[in-house]
A and B are shown apart, each in its own frame.
Chain A
Amino acid sequence: MNGLALACMVLGALFFLAGTVGLLRFPDVHARLHALTKADNVGLGFLLLGLALEASSPAVAAKLFVTWCLVLLASASVSHVIARAALRRGVEPWQR
């Protein structure tokens, strides 16, 4: 197995761990959105990059890349939509 691919996938898993810890530990919905929609997507990117490096054909790698782009677009939109709805319902962003 390719060492670079392995490193990418393990790094991706660590970002997933960071996202989960953020979801569990952060104080309000805005901060949790930040953990989920950024850390998890970087983690997914690294994991898919690792898979693409050992993929059997360029077409498979391209499909993984397209999947990642779709996830990025979707989670950016979802993050904005949920944050705006939370503000309109009066969920104040957490302050120290």
Chain B
Amino acid sequence: MNLDTVHTGLALFLLANLLAGLWRVLAGPTAADRMLSTQLFGTTAVALLAMEADTRGMPALRDVALVFALLAAITAVAFVRRVWQPREEDE
């Protein structure tokens, strides 16, 4: 079993995880539940990109992984600050 086979298999497995996580976007019930799957996407994307950096021999993908880690946090904070405030304020 060589390196690329293992990496490709794990990458496909992680992508399957992402697809399963999409069910939570559909089901909800609150906006925060939908937002949680973006957190899943963020963490999984970091893992995928770090593996692809090896498989494809593109070291720059590790920097992309760092940016994904940062953006996932900013997205969630922006969501809570701008969209998901207590009900008294938005109704």
Interface residues of A (CB under 8 A from B): 1, 6, 9-10, 12-13, 16-17, 19-20, 23-24, 29, 32-33, 36-37, 40-41, 43-44, 47-48, 51, 54, 60, 63-64, 66-67, 70-71, 73-75, 77-78, 81-82, 85-86, 88-91
- Hey, which chain B residues are within 8 Å of A48, CB to CB? 47, 50
Tell whether A75 pairs with B80 under 8 Å between CB atoms, given A24-B24, A70-B70: no
- Residue contact A54 to B3, C-beta cutoff 8 Å: yes
Task: Give the size of the chain B interface in residues (CB under 8 angstroms).
Answer: 43
- Residue contact B43 to A51, C-beta cutoff 8 Å: no
- Hey, which chain A residues are within 8 Å of B40, CB to CB? 19-20, 23, 36, 40
B 43-61 to A, binary, CB cutoff 8 A, 1 in contact else 0: 1101100110010000100
- Residue contact B51 to A32, C-beta cutoff 8 Å: no
- Residue contact B50 to A51, C-beta cutoff 8 Å: yes
- Residue contact A64 to B62, C-beta cutoff 8 Å: yes
Q: Which of B2-16 contact A (CB under 8 A)?
A: 2-3, 6, 10, 13-14
- Residue contact A17 to B17, C-beta cutoff 8 Å: yes
Task: Name the residue of chain A whose CB is nearest to the CB of B83.
Answer: A85
- Residue contact B36 to A36, C-beta cutoff 8 Å: yes
- Residue contact A88 to B86, C-beta cutoff 8 Å: yes
